[in-house]
A and B are shown apart, each in its own frame.
Chain A
Amino acid sequence: MAFVQNFPFMSILLSLFSGPLCSVLDGKWARRVNTAVIAVIGIMSAFVLKHVSAGQPYVYRMGHFSAPWGNEIRVGTLEAFMACFFCAVMLLCMLGGIRERAAQIEEGKQNLYYVMVNLLLCSLLALIYTNDLFTAYVFVEINTISACGLIMIRQTGRTFEAATRYMIMSLLGSGLLLLGICHLYAVTGHLLMSNIKEQVQVITATGQYHISLMVALGLMSVGLAIKSALYPFHAWLPDAYGYSTLSSSAILSSLVSKGYIFLLIKIFYRVVGIQAVRESKVVNVLFVFGIAGMIMGSLSAIKEENLKRMIAYSSVAQIGYIYMGLGLATDAGAIASLYHVLSHAATKSLLFVAAAGLAQASGGSDRYGDITGAGFRNRLAGVAFTVGSLSMVGMPVFSGFISKLLFARAAVGHAHKMLPTVIALAVSTILNAVYFMKTVIRIYTIRPVEPGREGENSGSGGTGRQSTGGIGAVSAIEVAEAEILSKETGRTVRLLEEPAKAAALVCFILLNLILGLNSDPIVRLIQGGIEMFE
C-alpha cells in the first residue's frame, strides 16, 4: 500500500483536529492554522489525484476491519479531484473575506469562525470520500451545524433568523435522509455503499421490495434536495447568503450545497445504481423542480434590489440547473451536473467577493441604487464581476458556457426530456442575462452629478452638496440628505488596497478561465471518475 493512499484519511483527521486547536488559539493564529490546513489538504488531495488517475480506485479500510463490518473510505479520481477543487475554492473564499470578517465578527470570537470552517472542510471531505451511508448522514449533520455557525457568526437579528430557518429546513431534509437510509438498511441489511449495491441488484433481479426501494430512493433524494435548496425549499437561502459575512456566503453557496449534491450523485451511482434510478420516477420529480428552480430563481433575482441577495437568488437558479442535469438520469447529464458544480462554485464565489468589493467602493452599501458606477471606483472588482456575470450568462471563454453546452448536449440524445431541457436552458439564459447584464451596465454607468462636479470621490461630492445648500435655506433634512449622498457616492478603492482580496479575485478569474478554456481534460476526468463509480 502506497503511503499516498493514507492521505484522504489523514486530510479528514487533520481538518477535524485543527478545529479544536483553533478554539484555543487567538484569531490571528487560528487564521494562519486554518489557511495552512486548507492548503496542505489541497496539496495532499492533488497527490492522491495523481496517484489514482495513474491506477485503480482503492478502498481504505478504517481500523482494518474488512468489508461488511468495518467503515471504509473509497477514493477514485472524481473524489480526489473534488477534494482538491473544494480546498482551492475554500482557500480563495477565506482569502477574499479577511477584511469583512475583521469588521463583522465580534472581537474575541474570530477564532471560533475558523473552528467552524475547519469542521465544515472536514465534513465536506468525509462526504466526498466516505463509502458508508450512515457515516455520510453523521457528516451531513456536522456540515449543517458548522454551516449554521458560519451564518450566525455575524450577530444581527437577520442572521439569527436566517440561521434558524436554515436549521429548520436542513433538519427536515436530514430527517428524510435518515429515514431513507434506514429503509435501505432494512431492505438490504448493509450500510456500506458497495454492499448495498450488490444487494439492490439481487433484489431488483428477483423483483422483491420494489416499493421499499423506491421509497428509500425518494426519501434520500428529496432530503438531499431540501438540504441543497432545490427550488420550492429555497426560502431560507437569500437571507442566509445575503446577510452573513462574505466568506460565509461564498463558502455556503459554492461548497456546502455542493457537498450534498455530490453525495446524491454517489447515492445514485454507488448505492442504488443508475439503472434503478433511471427506471424510477424520482428523477422526473427532480427534473421538474430543477426546471422550475431555473426559471423562478431567476425571476426572483430580477426583482431583487440588493446585490448580495440577487446573487443568492441566482444560486437557486443554478442549483436548478444541476438538478435538471441529474433528472436526465444519463451519464452525460451527470457529467454536465458535475461540471456545473465546479463552474458554479468557481463563479458564484467570484461574484460574492466581487460584489463585496463593489460595496466597499460604494460606502459599504450593496443596494442597487448605490453601486452605480462602482466598476470605475473599484476597477478589479468591476472586471471580476463582469467576468462572473458573463460566465453565469454563458458566454464562451468562461466556464458557464461549457456547462450549458454540456447540458444541451446531454439533453439532445434524450428521448422525452430534450425539448423541455433546451427550452428551459434558453429561457433561463435570457433571464440570467437580464439581471446580470443589468447589474454590469449599472456598475459601469457614471453617476449623474451636479454640473461642474465631475469628481467621484466622497470629498468633492460632499463639498458640492454643501455649497448648493448654502444658497438656499439650510434645513436639517437637506444636510442629512447631503450626508447620505456623500456617503453613497463612495470612494475609489485602489488596486492594491487589500492585496488578499485582489489576489483572490485574480485567482477566481483564472480558475474561471481555466474551466472555460481547458474543459476537455476536466470533462474526461469527470467521465473517468463516474465510470470508476461502477
Chain B
Amino acid sequence: MHWEYLLNNYEEAVAMILFGIGFSNLLLQKNLIKKIIGLNIMDTAVYLFLALKGYISGRKAPVVVDGVTRAEAYINPIPSGLVLTGIVVSVSVTALMLSLTIRLYRRYHTLDLDEITTRLKREGK
C-alpha cells in the first residue's frame, strides 16, 4: 500500500468518504427526509471531487481580467461547468423527492417508508 498517495490526495479521499456517507444514508435510512439529506451529501461530494479535479494550484478562476489571456494563468473551467450542471440536476431531483415526501406524509402521516409499505400491504390495495 502506498499510504503517501492517500495523504497527498486527502481532499479526494474526503470527497469519497462523503460520497460513502451520503450513499449509505440514501440507501439505509428509514426516514425520507434523512434519505434526501443523504442524496444531497452524495451529490455534493461528487461536486467537491470534480471541483478538485479542475483546480490547479496557484492559478486563478477563468475570468479574464487585466487582459491576461494565457491559458496557463487559469484553472480548468470545464469541471466547474460540470458542477453547475450537476447542481441543476440535483436541485430538480431533490425537489421531486421532497414533493413525493409531502404527498406521502399527507396520506400516511409518517416519514418512515417501511412503515408506509407495511401499512399498504395491510390495506391490501
Contacts and interface: CB of A to CB of B under 8 A. Distances in A.
Contacts, number: 84
A164 interface: yes
Interface string B27-46: 10000100100010011001
A145 interface: yes
B85 interface: yes
Interface in A249-269: none
Nearest to B103: A160
B23 interface: yes
Contact of A167 (B19, B43, B89, B96): B96
A164 B26 contact: no
Interface string B83-114: 00110010011001100110110011000010
A134 B113 contact: no
B108 to A, nearest CB: 7
Contact of A175 (B46, B96, B104, B108): B46
Interface residues of A, number: 28
A134 B120 contact: no
B26 A157 contact: no
A156 interface: yes
Nearest to B35: A168
A382 B46 CA distance: 50
A167 B97 contact: yes
B54 to A, nearest CB: 10
Contacts of A157: 104, 107-108, 116, 120, 123, 125
Nearest to B29: A168
B120 A158 contact: yes
Nearest to A164: B100
A179 B53 CA distance: 12
A172 B108 contact: no
A161 B120 contact: yes
B96 A148 contact: yes
**Residues of A contacting B: mostly:** helix
Given A178-B46, A182-B50, A161 B117 contact: yes
Interface in A155-183: 156-158, 160-161, 163-165, 167-168, 171-172, 175-176, 178-179, 182
A23 to B, nearest CB: 16
Given A172-B23, A182-B46, A185-B53, A138 B89 contact: yes
A152 interface: yes
B62 to A, nearest CB: 14
A26 interface: no
Interface string A377-407: 0000000000000000000000000000000
A152 B26 contact: no
A467 B98 CA distance: 55
Interface in A326-354: none
Contacts of B26: 168, 171-172, 175
A298 B120 CA distance: 24
A175 B53 contact: no
A178 B79 CA distance: 12
A152 B22 CA distance: 26
A410 to B, nearest CB: 34
Contacts of A152: 100, 103
Contacts of A191: 78
Nearest to B12: A186
A454 interface: no
A141 interface: yes
17 contacts: A141-B89, A145-B92, A145-B93, A152-B100, A157-B116, A160-B100, A160-B103, A163-B100, A164-B101, A175-B19, A175-B22, A175-B23, A175-B42, A179-B49, A182-B82, A185-B53, A185-B82
Given A156-B125, A185-B82, 16 more contacts: A134-B85, A137-B89, A152-B100, A158-B120, A161-B113, A167-B100, A171-B26, A171-B97, A172-B27, A175-B46, A178-B86, A179-B46, A179-B49, A182-B46, A182-B53, A186-B53
